[in-house]
Amino acid sequence: MSLISRGFGRREQRRDERLPPGQYDAGDLFPVLSAGPTPRTSLSEWDLTLQGEVDGLRRWTWEEFRDLPREAVSVDIHCVTKWSKFDTRWEGVAVDTLLAGVRTEASYVVAFCDGGYTTNLPLADVTDGRAWVVDTYDGQPLAPEHGGPVRLLVPHLYFWKSAKWLRGFALSRFDEPGFWETFGYHERGDPWLEQRYSGD
Ligand SMILES: Nc1nc2c(c(=O)[nH]1)N[C@H]1C(S)=C(S)[C@@H](COP(=O)(O)O)O[C@H]1N2
Ligand SMILES: [Mo]
pLDDT (tens place) for every residue of the chain, 200 residues total:
568 888 887 666 888 899 999 999 999 999 999 999 999 999 999 999 999 999 999 999 999 999 999 999 999 999 999 999 999 999 999 999 999 999 999 999 999 999 999 999 999 999 999 999 999 999 999 999 999 999 999 999 999 999 999 999 999 999 999 999 999 999 999 999 999 999 99
Nearest to 138 by CA among 194, 92, 180, 84: 92
Which of 77, 85, 152, 162 best tests ligand 1's pocket when mutated (most atoms within 8 Å of CB)? 162
User: How many Å is the Cα radius of gyration of the chain?
Assistant: 16
57 burial via Cβ count (<10 Å: 0-12, 13-18, 19+):
exposed
Domain boundaries, the chain: 45-193
Q: Whose CA is nearest to atom 5 of ligand 1?
A: 34
Q: What is the pLDDT of residue 147?
A: 98
The ligand 1 atom nearest the CA atom of 115: 1
* H-run or E-run covering 33: none
Q: What is the pLDDT of residue 8?
A: 84
Q: What is the pLDDT of residue 14?
A: 86
Q: What is the pLDDT of residue 13?
A: 81
| pTM of the complete model | 0.97
Ligand 1 proximal residues by C-beta, below 6 Å: 31-35, 79, 113, 115, 117, 146-147, 159-160, 162-165
47 burial via Cβ count (<10 Å: 0-12, 13-18, 19+):
middle
Q: What is the pLDDT of residue 96?
A: 98
Q: Whose CA is nearest to atom 9 of ligand 1?
A: 34
Assigned architecture for domain 45-193: Alpha-Beta Complex (3.90)
Per-chain residues with Cβ under 5 A from ion ligand 2: 33, 79-80, 160
Nearest-angstrom CA–CA distance, 79 and 161: 9
> What DSSP string runs through 84-145?
EEEEEEEEEEEHHHHHTT-----SEEEEEETTS-EEEEEGGGTSSS--EEEEEETTEEPPGG
Q: Whose CA is nearest to atom 20 of ligand 1?
A: 146
Nearest to 120 by CA among 44, 172, 63, 71: 172
Nearest-angstrom CA–CA distance, 12 and 10: 6
Task: Label residue 9 left, alpha or beta by phi (over 0 means left) and psi (-120 to 50 means alpha).
Answer: left
Which ligand lies nearest to the CA atom of residue 77 in the structure? 1
Which ligand lies nearest to the CA atom of residue 142 in the structure? 1
On whether the CB atoms of residues 114 and 165 are closer than 8 A, the answer is: yes
Which of 30, 34, 110, 165 best tests ligand 1's pocket when mutated (most atoms within 8 Å of CB)? 34
Q: Whose CA is nearest to atom 6 of ligand 1?
A: 34
Q: What is the pLDDT of residue 10?
A: 64
